[in-house]
Amino acid sequence: MPAQPLEGITVVALEQAVAAPFATRQLADLGARVIKVERPGRGDFAREYDREVKGASAYFVWVNRGKESVALDVKDATDRALLGAMLARADVFVHNLAPGAVDRLGLGAKTLRAAHPRLITCAISGYGDSGPYREKKAYDLLIQCEAGLLSITGSPEAPARPGISIADIAGGMYAYTGILTALYERERTGAGTDLSVSLLDALGEWMGHPYFAQAYGGAGVVRSGARHPSISPYGAYRCGDGGQVFLSVQSDREWVALCERVLRRPELIRDPRFADNPLRRTHDEELTAELEACFADHTAEGLIALLDGAGIANARLRDLAGFSAHPQFDARDRWGEFGSPVGPLRGLLPPVEVAGRRAPMRPVPGLGEHTDAVRAEFSGPVPRPGNPGPA
């Protein structure tokens, strides 16, 4: 198999939970060597979040594929020296310890980069390394609350948590892209850099649309269940067989096509209630009644065919079994197999496809699986410039 884009890059990760592991897994998927440092005995506490994957944690399996696990007590002098030797030969150091914790361990960004100018450090925190929330504990749902996401998610009657760890994912993705940017910059300057990402900042960026709508539009965004808060028609609509179809109209051209080719109601095009998107959103309940009256003559499958023929975006509401069996994934050979301590597992290939190369899909490590090998490897002298070794 051709070399992966990040082959030869070594990442040392003092990480736990989701955000930092999600970032480093993306690097591993591109060929980087990721050495995950875990606590002896219990390891990353995400290993114990659940037992859904043949007895292993679904969270841990998801974000830790392709890494090496080294169990170290970073407060022990011998283990701390081994970690120092690993960092001396690393390209990237990622951690999501509490603010100040790495400094107390002697692993702060200024200290490390004074010793290793080519090293890229990345700190992931809940609220950043300053301000009144600096010391506040931060978990995904709590960040969603503080960022205002729950205030606009759910039904008009009650807020709801999105079904995935969206704050952790946002923070992890910004850390990942920041590290890639720093690696690119180092190619030009020869110097590493210090990166920091807070989950509140990351999710705050994703709150851009509701913020601007609130700050400058007055009314702001309201909770609208499975309907879009700003665009209409955009959501789920009942059909004659009791099924539901999701559809979206995002331009006047599509609105005309929906009225003429699907609803067979051209008079609705210039109806004063529906003449443009803001009006349609204002009169969404009336528009829904008009659509569902027309859709009562169709089955869900028949309506989907009609919408496809008219060029109107639509979707079925799939459950997780439907996701797992999605024909688009199968047609594009998007599933792969990887190893784990509980046996072979099936998972999706990484979203970024590199032409001519297939992601390695390396195993999920057992706790401390690579400790002895890494201890033996890094107990020797640091490679001199020109010798094999990343930094």
Structure confidence by residue, pLDDT tens digits, 193-230: 999 999 999 999 999 989 998 888 877 788 888 888 88
Reported as a pLDDT band with limits 50, 70 and 90, residue 383 is low
Is the pLDDT at 135 greater than 90? The verdict is no
- Looking at the chain, the domain(s) classified CATH 3.30.1540.10 span 234-317
Q: Is 95 in the active site?
A: no
Query: Distances from the Cα of 160 to the Cαs of 77, 150, 299, in angstroms?
Result: 46, 6, 30
| Amino acid at residue number 387 | N
Contact residues for 380 (Cβ-Cβ < 8 A; gap 6+)? none
Q: Which residues of 298-333 are buried (b: 16+ CB within 10 A; e: fewer)?
A: bebebbbebbeebebebeeeeeeeeeeeeeeeeeee
Query: Distances from the Cα of 386 to the Cαs of 89, 259, 349, 382, 383, in angstroms?
Result: 13, 69, 35, 12, 8
Question: Average pLDDT in the 13-27 region?
Answer: 96
- The answer to whether 241 touches 299, Cβ cutoff 8 Å, is yes
- The answer to whether 351 touches 336, Cβ cutoff 8 Å, is no
Count, residues in the chain? 391
Is the pLDDT at 2 greater than 80? The verdict is no
What is the pairing mode between strands 92-95 and 120-125? parallel
d(CA 222, CA 207) in angstroms, rounded, equals 13
Backbone angles phi, psi at 377, to 5 degrees: -65, -45
CB atoms within 10 A of CB 184: 10
Which pair of structure tokens corresponds to residue 332?
């594009």
Question: Average pLDDT in the 312-333 region?
Answer: 94
- The answer to whether 81 touches 87, Cβ cutoff 8 Å, is no
- The answer to whether 63 touches 19, Cβ cutoff 8 Å, is no
Selected catalytic residue, list 95, 116, 228, 370: 228
User: What pLDDT score does 111 carry?
Assistant: 92
Distance of CA 142 to the CA centre of its chain: 17
pTM here? 0.89
Is the pLDDT at 285 greater than 80? The verdict is yes
Is the pLDDT at 381 greater than 70? The verdict is no
- The answer to whether 312 touches 249, Cβ cutoff 8 Å, is yes
CATH for the stretch 10-207+326-378 = 3.40.50.10540
Which pair of structure tokens corresponds to residue 302?
């028949």
Is the pLDDT at 382 greater than 70? The verdict is no
Q: What is the mean pLDDT of the chain?
A: 92
User: What pLDDT score does 387 carry?
Assistant: 38
User: What pLDDT score does 388 carry?
Assistant: 39
Reported as a pLDDT band with limits 50, 70 and 90, residue 390 is very low
Choose among 117, 119, 137, 141: nearest CA to 127: 137
d(CA 158, CA 142) in angstroms, rounded, equals 17
Reported as a pLDDT band with limits 50, 70 and 90, residue 386 is very low
- Looking at the chain, the domain(s) classified CATH 3.40.50.10540 span 10-207+326-378
Reported as a pLDDT band with limits 50, 70 and 90, residue 100 is confident
d(CA 95, CA 98) in angstroms, rounded, equals 9
Question: Average pLDDT in the 140-148 region?
Answer: 95
Look up the CATH superfamily of 234-317: formyl-coa transferase, domain 3 (3.30.1540.10)
User: What pLDDT score does 223 carry?
Assistant: 84
Percentage of the chain beyond pLDDT 70 is: 96
